[in-house]
Structure 1
Amino acid sequence: MAGPSSGLRVDHAVSSGTFSLDGETFDVDNNIWVVGDDSECVVIDAPHSVDDILAVVGDRRIRAIVCTHAHDDHVRVAPALRERANDGSGAPILLHPDDRPLWELTHGGPDAVDGHLWDVDLSDGMKIDVAGTTLTVLHTPGHAPGAVCLHAPDLGCVFTGDTLFQGGPGATGRSFSDLPTLEASISAKLFALPDDTVVHTGHGDDTTIGAERAHLGD
């Protein structure tokens, strides 16, 4: 396999909207992460605005739209982005199948009127290739049953969605979440990474694996 592209990079923006679950709605700012080079990229999560995402992508080819989990603030515009990607030729949506109940809260199922499903199931250890590098899928349930993180060793970072933030684990206490499961996922999958691995989160500022290991006393 050829080495990573010399232009390999992570691009970032913030998109604002809402998160709704269990009958409550909150205003939220979501990070948009795009990994690639000057010609192709992978989009991580599809929050509130297709235009916000495409502004980061530019004229690059989108290889995949990878969803870290299926809360509505991370997948709301995934089907619309799929349709508009690559000048309308489309790009596949990737999601862990354990998050289907959450996905269907936003987009319905195959039997629903105007229902949409994703295209490719994510699984633990799966490799996603882009721009000469590889993202490795880490299944990290707890915040959501199908939550995943994406480890990019060539870039020295991991994209954690809402699994791990600066200061600790993601939120639990709502439907489909469980704190002991989340803590076990972080310990087994994320704390196995080097301490200097940069953590790109679904909301808020970056941190490192080492900093969060210290916070959580692992």
Structure 2
Amino acid sequence: MPTSPGGVRVERVVTSGVFELDGGAWDVDNNVWLLGDDDAVLVVDAAHDARAILDAVGGRRVAGIVCTHGHNDHVNAVSDLIAETGATAWLHPDDRVLWDQSQDEAPGGDLADGQVFTVGDVEATVLHTPGHAPGACCLHVPALGVLFSGDTLFAGGPGATGRSYSDFPTIVDSIRTRLLTLPSATVVLTGHGDPTSIGDEAPHLQEWLDRGH
């Protein structure tokens, strides 16, 4: 992963737990991403294991917790992180319908399209990319050439749209208009599994449309 002149870098923590929705439960591994330098970090998706995340953060200040969407497997460590760090959790308001299924307290801040988080000498811009969930968001960090895609885009195609509050035409439109327009070298740091790139995924748009997922 690239590092900015000011030392901002990306770190990954993989945590494991259970994703629950529509009466089903699935064992999942989640990527928790840390964007920061030696002083402060932004946590992208607080999944499953607050202690593992805090161990990776070390003595640094948590500048915020960005929730790419409200599915329980991406937010179920939020309350413990807040209790330990006092950081604000950010969620797009359209995803409160999902957040409220697993969380007792409201998030501390509302994500908005175009909102910018500054971490050290880099900026991370919020892109509202509904489809997997109505309030799903990605974070684009041009200075590092990376995109935190949550569950919107993976190696091999769009995130799942077969459950409540998801929609395939909507996610395809989000990917086509908001993500595939980014530089092809942009590294896509996904909510689960291995990274990919915009250049690797863009040629397959028609295949996704043909298969319908």
TM-score with structure 2 setting the length:
0.94
Task: State the match for 1:164 in structure 2.
Answer: 153
User: Which amino acid in structure 2 is aligned with residue 102 of structure 1?
Assistant: L
For residues 60-209 of structure 1, what are the structure 2 equivalents within 5 Å? 60-85=60-85, 90-107=86-103, 115-209=104-198
| Corresponding residue SS for 1:99 | helix
**Gaps in structure 1 of 5+ consecutive residues:** 108-114
Task: State the match for 2:52 in structure 1.
Answer: 52
**Whole-Å separation in 1 of the counterparts to 2:112 and 2:84:** 26
Segments ≥4 residues shifted beyond 6 Å: none
The CA deviation at 1:128 is: 0.6
User: Which amino acid in structure 2 is aligned with residue 32 of structure 1?
Assistant: V
The CA deviation at 1:81 is: 0.6
- Asked if structure 2 preserves the Cα contact closer than 8 Å seen for 1:199 and 1:208, the reply is yes
**Whole-Å separation in 1 of the counterparts to 2:53 and 2:137:** 20
Task: State the match for 1:33 in structure 2.
Answer: 33
Task: State the match for 1:43 in structure 2.
Answer: 43
- Asked if structure 1 preserves the Cα contact closer than 8 Å seen for 2:129 and 2:175, the reply is yes
The CA deviation at 1:5 is: 5.0
The CA deviation at 1:217 is: 3.7
User: Which amino acid in structure 2 is aligned with residue 157 of structure 1?
Assistant: V
**Whole-Å separation in 2 of the counterparts to 1:56 and 1:212:** 30
- Asked if structure 2 preserves the Cα contact closer than 8 Å seen for 1:5 and 1:131, the reply is no
Identical residues among aligned pairs (%): 54
The CA deviation at 1:198 is: 0.1
Task: State the match for 2:201 in structure 1.
Answer: 212
- Asked if structure 2 preserves the Cα contact closer than 8 Å seen for 1:69 and 1:95, the reply is yes
Aligned residues: 204
Residues 143-165 of structure 1 deviation map (CA, whole Å, 9 limit, x = unaligned): 00000000000110000000000
| Corresponding residue SS for 1:176 | coil
Residues 82-140 of structure 1 deviation map (CA, whole Å, 9 limit, x = unaligned): 1111xxxx000000000000000001xxxxxxx20101100100001111211000000
